[in-house]
Structure 1
């Protein structure tokens, strides 16, 4: 009962704090200016993630969840490092190297606090010990997920909504696995994010900025480690499926930039949401479509966790094929959209 009350407090806190953060961002010029790569047409206040963070801390101080195996303080300290990195980037546009450095430091802090993947149990027997690769692999996971959420933050409410769907799935599965510490953190973070989403959904009144995108990505990566560490190889795939939308979008972005000999940490307009917009979907429709895809990934993760080993393998194969077909379809239609549109227009003009 106390958890539900705390979630409500976090939600209301986020509703109250977000307008103050908006005024703070406008006062100090922490805004996102429009350009040819961005969708919005006017300067928008950034730093909205600060409201999510403060609301989460309020809920954390009320419940004070603990875990005997990890240092809760390390999670909060890592969060603070990420928030500071995000605020500085929103204000001064840090170089990719400085942003990455902040993420790595935050990841190291939580690793030192006891959050890491030591080993996995293999499906056909035996155990795979990571040994000296334990810390590097954990850091790569945290930094990778953090940037995956950041990369999809291109439309009003997109990153906040996809993150909320991931948090619902992670928290729900943590409850099923008896990990109430991870479930509690996920629940209060979810409530804090949903409160902010009311101001961030199209048409947005404030953006979460890197302050929010990096923070949500960081927390989701940590929560997935808390909920699915030291388990079977098959179960280790669960957080990857849950984060299917941001991770697949990030993967294809890296492949695309490498193939086109572009700067790998640069920006472009070929992400999933950009492709859907070019297909003619409205801003709101595009976001809702990606929400639906994220929800399907979440449902697939739940089904995956309840399947037999061979059933799980088949499900992963089907998901990979579906992702490939979807991406190829988007790229094909995207390339031919304008010619098709011109043909349709010319047909209408000549139609008696």
Structure 2
């Protein structure tokens, strides 16, 4: 117990220190992101915070005495590396999706899923990976949601007799916490595609792994509630852009965090609301996984999310001009606009 707490603290402080070091290095070398209005920043900002999160998580996981899920971490590392390359020199959507699909297939095979459930799991992991990447659009938002989700998945991993996976999730939550010290508004550094894709992939893979022995209904209910915020954000953006006749891959200020700010919340307030929503969904996911709540309880949370999406669709976010060409967008939104 004490060793686990010490490891979690180590991941938190290591991520915080590495983030500050990477920020200073990026400023000195001029390797900066130009986010424009997309993230509420007007000045160039470093975007390699994800390297600190990935390094802290993998390093502490590797040096501990626990039996960590090596295939999952190796696959997550490959996704993170792809994200880093994308941060340095933009890739197309196809190479990213190819790596993510291959990495997800490794996790599905290692989990021992059947062919049909494996295919479904791969699709789900790729979807959630990119949904987390999409959520990285406002200071503190994705870090808060990712940390809360990781902490919620940890007890599920313990209940599923996957203690090594629980350790990794706690380390990831701690590393995101260390990063948030620098990413809380006004952010001095961004996560980047490296960190957001890695976080989404690890969380999606962990969610699939802990539900491998569950009934189909229990697994569906758990997966939906555990990823409720990122799923709702993606659904909102897709519906909004289709209604407006805008390209789906064109970045913009039309995510949940942006709409909450238009309703009067501060940047910090929007991040807190998203974190609390993630906590509610994650809590429900834990109870469904443990059998305290029936899988049908997920429908209540899905209905609530749909109502929120419908309400937020009424918030006006599109102007008469196109988004700036130098707008910073997450990886999945960069087919047409890229920093």
Same fold, judged at TM 0.5 (above): yes
Question: What is residue 312 of structure 1 aligned with on the other side?
Answer: 295
* 5+ long unaligned stretches in structure 1: 119-130, 337-352
Larger mean Cα displacement after TM superposition, 225-234 or 164-173: 225-234
Matched, 1:173 2:156: yes
Residue aligned with 1:234, SS = helix
What are the residue-to-residue correspondences of 1:255-294 with 2, within 5 Å?
255-294=239-278
What are the residue-to-residue correspondences of 1:78-93 with 2, within 5 Å?
78-93=75-90
Residue aligned with 1:86, SS = helix
Deviation, structure 1 residue 56: 1.1
Question: What is residue 254 of structure 1 aligned with on the other side?
Answer: 238
- Higher-RCO chain (CA-CA 8 Å, sequence separation at least 6): 2
**Given that residues 232 and 309 in structure 2 are in contact (C-alpha distance below 8 angstroms), is that contact kept between their aligned partners in structure 1?**
no
Judging changes above 3 Å, is the alpha-carbon distance between structure 1 residues 335 and 33 closer, same or farther for their aligned structure 2 residues? closer
Question: What is residue 213 of structure 1 aligned with on the other side?
Answer: 196
Residue aligned with 1:156, SS = coil
Deviation, structure 1 residue 58: 2.1
2:124 to 141, 146, 165: 141
Bigger Cα Rg: 1
Residue aligned with 1:274, SS = helix
2:111 to 95, 115, 120: 115
Deviation, structure 1 residue 33: 0.3
Deviation, structure 1 residue 159: 0.6
Whole-angstrom CA distance in 1 between matches of 2:264 and 2:166: 39
Q: Deviation per CA, 1:162-219: give whole Å up to 9, x if none.
A: 0000011100222234331221111111112111111111121111111110010011
Question: What is residue 3 of structure 1 aligned with on the other side?
Answer: 4
Matched, 1:74 2:57: no
Deviation, structure 1 residue 104: 2.1
What are the residue-to-residue correspondences of 1:25-36 with 2, within 5 Å?
25-36=26-37
Judging changes above 3 Å, is the alpha-carbon distance between structure 1 residues 83 and 312 closer, same or farther for their aligned structure 2 residues? closer
Whole-angstrom CA distance in 1 between matches of 2:105 and 2:31: 28
Question: What is residue 326 of structure 2 aligned with on the other side?
Answer: none
Residue aligned with 1:31, SS = coil
Whole-angstrom CA distance in 2 between matches of 1:196 and 1:295: 19
Whole-angstrom CA distance in 2 between matches of 1:22 and 1:288: 24
Question: What is residue 184 of structure 1 aligned with on the other side?
Answer: 167
Residue aligned with 1:44, SS = coil
**Given that residues 149 and 216 in structure 1 are in contact (C-alpha distance below 8 angstroms), is that contact kept between their aligned partners in structure 2?**
yes
Matched, 1:37 2:38: yes
Whole-angstrom CA distance in 1 between matches of 2:118 and 2:245: 31
Whole-angstrom CA distance in 2 between matches of 1:325 and 1:97: 33
Question: What is residue 345 of structure 1 aligned with on the other side?
Answer: none
Question: What is residue 13 of structure 1 aligned with on the other side?
Answer: 14
**Given that residues 116 and 225 in structure 1 are in contact (C-alpha distance below 8 angstroms), is that contact kept between their aligned partners in structure 2?**
no
* 5+ long unaligned stretches in structure 2: 318-339
**Given that residues 228 and 302 in structure 2 are in contact (C-alpha distance below 8 angstroms), is that contact kept between their aligned partners in structure 1?**
no
Whole-angstrom CA distance in 2 between matches of 1:81 and 1:317: 35
Judging changes above 3 Å, is the alpha-carbon distance between structure 1 residues 108 and 174 closer, same or farther for their aligned structure 2 residues? closer
Judging changes above 3 Å, is the alpha-carbon distance between structure 1 residues 271 and 98 closer, same or farther for their aligned structure 2 residues? same
Q: Deviation per CA, 1:260-292: give whole Å up to 9, x if none.
A: 444333323221111111112111111111111
**Given that residues 96 and 265 in structure 1 are in contact (C-alpha distance below 8 angstroms), is that contact kept between their aligned partners in structure 2?**
no
Whole-angstrom CA distance in 2 between matches of 1:54 and 1:283: 27
Question: Matched residue pairs, number?
Answer: 316
Deviation, structure 1 residue 51: 0.6
**Given that residues 117 and 225 in structure 1 are in contact (C-alpha distance below 8 angstroms), is that contact kept between their aligned partners in structure 2?**
no
Deviation, structure 1 residue 37: 3.4
**Given that residues 35 and 42 in structure 2 are in contact (C-alpha distance below 8 angstroms), is that contact kept between their aligned partners in structure 1?**
yes
Question: What is residue 327 of structure 1 aligned with on the other side?
Answer: 309
1:104 to 91, 101, 108: 101
Whole-angstrom CA distance in 1 between matches of 2:235 and 2:12: 33
Deviation, structure 1 residue 79: 2.2
Whole-angstrom CA distance in 2 between matches of 1:326 and 1:20: 39
TM-score (norm 1): 0.82
**Given that residues 238 and 301 in structure 1 are in contact (C-alpha distance below 8 angstroms), is that contact kept between their aligned partners in structure 2?**
yes
